[in-house]
């Protein structure tokens, strides 16, 4: 009898995990990790070396993943909130990254596109770019919340116009910053061998986590996403909450844009963060969040973002032929998305339940 | 209810406005109408040209190209020029039709796409508008245009690869960063390297597209470094990707440039890239000449005098710069 109880315990534990949102990105991560481990265990090798400035840095594929995946993780935070509240996605994030990145450089460089020294402190440039990105977020938010335009259509405006605006900010020039401290945010702070973008992503996650824990933001966002009318009847202002999520996304975009310009100390507005909006939406989907709004799980989205980077790095590592790269990615994405579809997950849970009951029957007999 | 309708109207109007702004058409229509009214008042001895180009924001190359044309085709130089920009072929064809109706003398065209130009060029011919293609070629009969001024991408690649040959490295282990697959620049620049690598048994350590993107290039090179593969040449098909690659090298403390461990090759001759070259951090940069206006003016002069052109296709002279021989003068003159 006791063994039967045990079985039931593990069974419900398993199905609990399966029903948990975070299961999907973790499973995807495990599959990728196991695949890499079998094919080439050196994938997981991490070595401590020095960069050309003589500062200690860790290097290895895993470090590259947490490094380059960080912007996507930060974007995934904002995108999850926007998706949950407004039942749609913002496709202008890549273009707004170009804008906010251009603003950073514009403030740092002043009128000269190649200054010898910075024209303003870095923190000022960052704060101004935050304000600008939040303003563009507010523009998107206003179209969605007040004018009730479909999010994808509303953000299509900045998607098409954004990169031209970015070009205009710097008079079509490509400014270059020659300042060592500016590069810290996209690479390493001297003496700390872990890439800075990862710390920034963790900081963003902690801030969001605290905000969701100590305010009602999460609850409000979910209720607006699940049913706008009832939340209004319960005294919420759905328009305001949607608007706020777009501004939060704007802030995330500014942080991501800041890391992007810091990486190379310059910006090419026509290609920077190209197609990142699709990856950000995919991160939300991989996190098991419904793309039609409602309940959400930020941690799962962030994990989803790193899974996407894991996949990208894996494909680079195995030297997949250039022109075939998108096709491979598509196949993996299809597999992951199908795996994460509620129908499939229910089937899997049902299969586990069957297994459990048959095990129960065996132990009883 | 009425309020709501008005709001929706207003929103859609904002949207349309923003979209047009995004396509960069507003400036065009302004300048188009301006030039129309101006040309009526101005004397008729100005040569009237309509210039259709790709969006100046497309790349640094395009910006330099547009600025060069704008600086050349001015009133002072005897031209009455109208400019139109679009990355879409259909829009460009519409502009061409508009320019033909405006009775321009010359239509200068950098087509977004190679197909679909036959009928509009026939209209131009019928209206007596002479067409000169620059930068891009099209799939149309040669009789439909006067001249075509092009960069020879194959030659650009060959020049760079020939230079690489003369370096006489002990081994050639190359990371090849490609542009957007299928673009003319990618085909030409990849083709030369592929052929020579096969012929001389150079080892291509990695060959991937970074889509002209610095950050993707950085990730690809980082990935090669992380896999602990040996390489001593980076062949990047534009400057941005070379810059991304160098960022990855710096991070891993791998020296690059003149007399160092890794040879860095870029293309396009951006000013900042030539400065890197001058500082000895890179080794070679191949030019993709955006300064076509002098060639165009040359052709227009000949046509105005009634001379015949020797050749319909004019290939521009393009340089390649070696870090050891580049001068400050080169940097300021050829940097874009």
Report the half-sphere exposure of B244 (CA within 13 A, side-chain side).
32
CA B55 to each of CA A133, A289, A314, B89, B153: distance values in angstroms, whole numbers, following the listed order: 24, 38, 35, 12, 21
| Within-domain flag for B66 | yes
Average pLDDT over residues B260-281: 92
Nearest to B268 by CA among B258, B260, B277: B277
CA A157 to chain centre: 22
* Residue B184 sits in the same domain as residue B140: no
Name residues 236-255 of chain B within 8 A of A (Cβ). Answer: 240, 243-244, 247, 249-255
Q: Does A318 touch chain B (CB under 8 A)?
A: no
Count of all residues that appear for chain B in the document: 336
Place of tokens 């299969």: A351
Nearest to B281 by CA among B253, B254, B252, B256: B256
| Within-domain flag for B298 | no
pLDDT digits (tens, 9 = 90+) for A66-76: 999 999 999 99
At residue A241, does pLDDT exceed 60?
Answer: yes
Q: What is the pLDDT of residue B202?
A: 94
Phi/psi of residue A141, nearest 5 degrees: -60, -40
pLDDT digits (tens, 9 = 90+) for B163-194: 999 999 999 999 999 988 888 889 899 999 99
Phi/psi of residue A97, nearest 5 degrees: -60, -40
Q: What distance, in Å, lies between the first and last C-alpha atoms of chain B?
A: 55
Q: Does A64 touch chain B (CB under 8 A)?
A: yes
Higher pLDDT, A294 or B177: B177
Q: How many CB atoms lie within 10 A of CB A243?
A: 21
Radius of gyration of chain B (CA): 23
Q: Which two tokens stand for residue B82?
A: 């109208």
Range in A86-100, A311-325, B17-31, B311-325 with the lowest mean pLDDT: B17-31
| Within-domain flag for B295 | no
* Residue B135 sits in the same domain as residue B164: no
Nearest to B240 by CA among B208, B210, B214: B214
Q: What is the pLDDT of residue A179?
A: 87
Q: What is the pLDDT of residue A21?
A: 77
Which own/partner pairs from B302-308 qualify as long-range (CB within 8 Å, at least 24 positions apart)? Answer: B303/B130, B303/B146, B304/B47
Residue A20, phi-psi category: left (phi > 0), alpha (psi -120 to 50), beta (remainder): beta
Q: Which two tokens stand for residue B218?
A: 């950085």
* Residue B246 sits in the same domain as residue B326: yes
Q: At A42, which CATH number?
A: 1.10.3470
- Pick the residue from chain B with its C-alpha nearest to A47: B226
Q: Does A70 touch chain B (CB under 8 A)?
A: no
Cβ neighbours of B11 in A, within 8 Å: 143, 147, 149
Q: What is the pLDDT of residue B37?
A: 40
In DSSP terms, which residues pair with B50 in a beta bridge?
Answer: B82, B107
CA A231 to chain centre: 28
At residue B32, does pLDDT exceed 60?
Answer: no
At residue A297, does pLDDT exceed 70?
Answer: yes
How many domains does the structure of chain B reveal? 2
pLDDT confidence tier of residue A128, bands split at 50, 70 and 90: very high
| Within-domain flag for B86 | yes
Q: How many CB atoms lie within 10 A of CB B271?
A: 20
Place of tokens 């900081």: A203
**DSSP for B242-261, written as a single string:** HHHHHHHHHHTT--BSTTSS
Structural domain range at position B163: 153-288+321-334
Query: Residue A309, class by beta-carbon neighbours within 10 Å (0-12 exposed, 13-18 middle, 19+ buried)?
Result: buried
pLDDT confidence tier of residue A53, bands split at 50, 70 and 90: confident
CA B84 to each of CA B23, B35, B59, B88: distance values in angstroms, whole numbers, following the listed order: 11, 12, 17, 12
pTM beyond cutoff 0.95: no
Which residue out of B205, B226, B249 would a mutagenesis test of the A interface target, given it has the greatest number of A Cβ atoms within 10 Å?
B226
* Interface ipTM above 0.90: no
Q: What is the pLDDT of residue A14?
A: 61
Picking from B145, B173, B201, the residue at the C-terminal end of a domain is: B145
The dihedral formed by the CA atoms of B43, B44, B45 and B51, expressed in degrees to the nearest 10 = 110
* Residue B262 sits in the same domain as residue B202: yes
Average pLDDT over residues B280-287: 94
* Residue B55 sits in the same domain as residue B185: no
Average pLDDT over residues A33-37: 92
At residue A319, does pLDDT exceed 80?
Answer: yes
Q: What is the pLDDT of residue A83?
A: 95
Q: Does A317 touch chain B (CB under 8 A)?
A: yes
Range in A148-152, B42-46, B173-177, B234-238 with the lowest mean pLDDT: B42-46
Q: Which two tokens stand for residue B122?
A: 């026939």
Q: What is the pLDDT of residue A318?
A: 86
At residue A56, does pLDDT exceed 80?
Answer: yes
Average pLDDT over residues A205-212: 95
* Residue B70 sits in the same domain as residue B133: yes
- Pick the residue from chain A with its C-alpha nearest to B256: A52
CA B65 to each of CA A112, B60, B118: distance values in angstroms, whole numbers, following the listed order: 21, 9, 25
* Residue B179 sits in the same domain as residue B82: no
CB A59 to CB B24 under 8 A? no
Q: Does A271 touch chain B (CB under 8 A)?
A: yes
* Residue B182 sits in the same domain as residue B247: yes
Contact between B237 and B186 (Cβ < 8 Å): yes
Structural domain range at position A82: 2-364
Q: Indicate the SS3 state at residue B315.
A: strand
Distance CA B249, CA B246 (A): 5
**DSSP alpha helices (H): ranges in A111-150?**
122-145
Q: Does B5 touch chain A (CB under 8 A)?
A: no
Average pLDDT over residues B90-109: 92
CB B219 to CB A174 under 8 A? no
Q: Which two tokens stand for residue A100?
A: 């906010």
| Within-domain flag for B75 | yes
How many domains does the structure of chain A reveal? 1
CB A161 to CB B19 under 8 A? yes
CB A274 to CB B244 under 8 A? no
Average pLDDT over residues A273-285: 89
Query: Residue B182, class by beta-carbon neighbours within 10 Å (0-12 exposed, 13-18 middle, 19+ buried)?
Result: exposed
Distance CA A303, CA B257 (A): 39
Contact between B83 and B35 (Cβ < 8 Å): no
At residue B65, does pLDDT exceed 80?
Answer: yes
Place of tokens 């020579």: B196
Q: Indicate the SS3 state at residue B175.
A: strand
Q: Which two tokens stand for residue B311?
A: 């050749």
Q: What is the pLDDT of residue B40?
A: 41
pLDDT confidence tier of residue B41, bands split at 50, 70 and 90: very low
Contact between B219 and B251 (Cβ < 8 Å): no
Q: At B111, which CATH number?
A: 3.40.50.2300
Of the candidates A149, A157, A271, the beta carbon closest to that of B212 is on: A271
At residue B27, does pLDDT exceed 50?
Answer: no
CB B8 to CB A172 under 8 A? no
Place of tokens 């872990």: A194
Q: What is the pLDDT of residue A305?
A: 94
* Residue B91 sits in the same domain as residue B191: no
Query: Across chain B, what does the average pLDDT equal?
Result: 85
Contact between B57 and A171 (Cβ < 8 Å): no
| Within-domain flag for B247 | yes
CB B226 to CB A64 under 8 A? yes
Q: What is the pLDDT of residue B42?
A: 46
Q: What is the pLDDT of residue B58?
A: 72
At residue A203, does pLDDT exceed 50?
Answer: yes
* In chain A, % of residues over pLDDT 90: 55
| Within-domain flag for B14 | yes
Which residues of chain A form beta strands (DSSP E)?
47-50, 56-59
Range in A109-123, A193-207, A340-354, B279-293 with the lowest mean pLDDT: A340-354
* Residue B228 sits in the same domain as residue B262: yes
Nearest to A114 by CA among A177, A168, A182, A180: A177
Q: What is the pLDDT of residue A144?
A: 95
Average pLDDT over residues A44-64: 89
pLDDT confidence tier of residue A342, bands split at 50, 70 and 90: confident
Q: What distance, in Å, lies between the first and last C-alpha atoms of chain A?
A: 10
Contact between B131 and B105 (Cβ < 8 Å): no
CA B77 to chain centre: 25
Contact between A144 and A83 (Cβ < 8 Å): no
At residue B21, does pLDDT exceed 70?
Answer: no
Sheet bearing B106-109, strands edge to edge: B79-85, B47-53, B106-109, B130-135, B147-150, B313-315
* Residue B207 sits in the same domain as residue B327: yes
Q: What is the pLDDT of residue B92?
A: 92
Distance CA A249, CA A81 (A): 8
Picking from B111, B145, B179, the residue at the C-terminal end of a domain is: B145
| Within-domain flag for B219 | yes
Range in A95-104, A312-321, B25-34 with the lowest mean pLDDT: B25-34
* Residue B221 sits in the same domain as residue B237: yes
Cβ neighbours of A158 in B, within 8 Å: 18
At residue B24, does pLDDT exceed 60?
Answer: no
Distance CA A258, CA A225 (A): 30
């Amino acid at each position: 009898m006791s063994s039967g109880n045990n079985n039931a315990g593990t069974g419900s534990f398993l199905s609990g995990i399966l029903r948990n949102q975070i299961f999907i990105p973790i499973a995807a991560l495990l599959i990728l990790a196991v695949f890499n481990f079998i094919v080439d265990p050196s994938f997981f090798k991490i070595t401590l070396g020095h960069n050309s400035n003589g500062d200690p840095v860790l290097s290895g594929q895993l470090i590259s993943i947490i490094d380059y995946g960080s912007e996507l993780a930060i974007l995934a935070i904002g995108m999850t909130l926007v998706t949950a509240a407004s039942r749609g996605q913002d496709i202008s994030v890549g273009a707004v990254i170009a804008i906010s990145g251009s603003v950073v450089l514009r403030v740092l460089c002043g009128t000269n596109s190649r200054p010898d020294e910075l024209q303003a402190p870095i923190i000022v440039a960052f704060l101004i770019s935050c304000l600008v990105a939040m303003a563009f977020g507010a523009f998107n938010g206003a179209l969605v919340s007040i004018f009730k335009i479909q999010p994808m259509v509303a953000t299509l405006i900045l998607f098409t116009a954004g990169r031209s605006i970015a070009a205009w900010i710097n008079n079509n020039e490509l400014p270059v910053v020659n300042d060592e401290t500016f590069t810290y945010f996209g690479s390493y702070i001297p003496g700390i061998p872990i890439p800075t973008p990862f710390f920034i992503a963790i900081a963003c996650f902690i801030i969001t986590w605290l905000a969701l824990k100590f305010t009602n933001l999460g609850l409000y966002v979910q209720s607006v996403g699940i049913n706008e009318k009832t939340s209004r009847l319960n005294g919420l202002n759905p328009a305001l909450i949607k608007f706020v999520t777009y501004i939060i996304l704007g802030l995330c975009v500014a942080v991501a844009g800041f890391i992007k310009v810091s990486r190379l100390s310059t910006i090419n507005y026509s290609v920077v963060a190209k197609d990142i909006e699709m990856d950000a939406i995919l991160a939300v989907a991989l996190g098991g969040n419904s793309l039609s709004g409602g309940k959400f799980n930020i941690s799962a989205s962030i994990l989803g973002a790193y899974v996407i980077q894991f996949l990208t790095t894996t494909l680079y590592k195995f030297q997949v032929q250039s022109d075939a790269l998108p096709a491979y990615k598509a196949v993996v994405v299809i597999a992951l998305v199908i795996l994460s579809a509620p129908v499939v997950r229910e089937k899997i849970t049902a299969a586990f339940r069957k297994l459990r009951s048959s095990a129960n029957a065996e132990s009883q007999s | 209810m009425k309020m709501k309708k008005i709001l929706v109207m207003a929103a859609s109007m904002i949207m349309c406005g923003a979209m047009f702004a995004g396509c960069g058409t507003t400036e065009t229509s302004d300048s188009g109408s301006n030039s129309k009214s101006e040309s009526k008042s101005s004397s008729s001895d100005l040569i009237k040209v309509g210039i259709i180009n790709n969006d100046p924001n497309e790349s640094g190359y395009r910006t330099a190209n547009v600025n060069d044309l704008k600086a050349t085709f001015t009133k002072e130089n005897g031209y009455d020029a109208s400019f139109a920009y679009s990355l879409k072929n259909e829009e460009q064809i519409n502009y061409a039709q508009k320019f033909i109706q405006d009775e321009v003398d010359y239509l200068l065209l950098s087509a977004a796409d190679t197909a679909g130009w036959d009928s509009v060029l026939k209209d131009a011919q019928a209206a007596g508008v002479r067409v000169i293609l620059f930068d891009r070629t099209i799939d149309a009969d040669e009789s439909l245009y006067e001249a075509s001024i092009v960069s020879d991408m194959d030659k650009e690649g060959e020049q760079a690869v020939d230079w690489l040959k003369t370096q006489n490295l002990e081994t050639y282990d190359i990371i090849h960063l490609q542009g957007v697959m299928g673009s003319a620049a990618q085909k030409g620049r990849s083709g030369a390297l592929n052929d020579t690598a096969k012929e001389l048994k150079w080892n291509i350590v990695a060959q991937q597209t970074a889509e002209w993107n610095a950050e993707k290039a950085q990730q690809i090179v980082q990935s090669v470094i992380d896999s602990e593969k040996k390489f001593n040449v980076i062949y990047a098909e534009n400057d941005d990707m070379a810059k991304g690659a160098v960022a990855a090298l710096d991070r891993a403390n791998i020296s690059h440039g003149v007399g160092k461990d890794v040879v860095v090759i870029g293309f396009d001759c951006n000013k900042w890239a030539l400065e890197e070259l001058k500082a000895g951090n890179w080794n070679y940069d191949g030019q993709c000449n955006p300064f076509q206006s002098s060639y165009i003016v040359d052709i227009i002069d000949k046509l105005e005098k009634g001379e015949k052109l020797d050749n319909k296709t004019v290939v521009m002279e393009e340089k390649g710069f070696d870090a050891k021989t580049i001068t400050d003068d080169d940097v300021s003159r050829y940097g874009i």
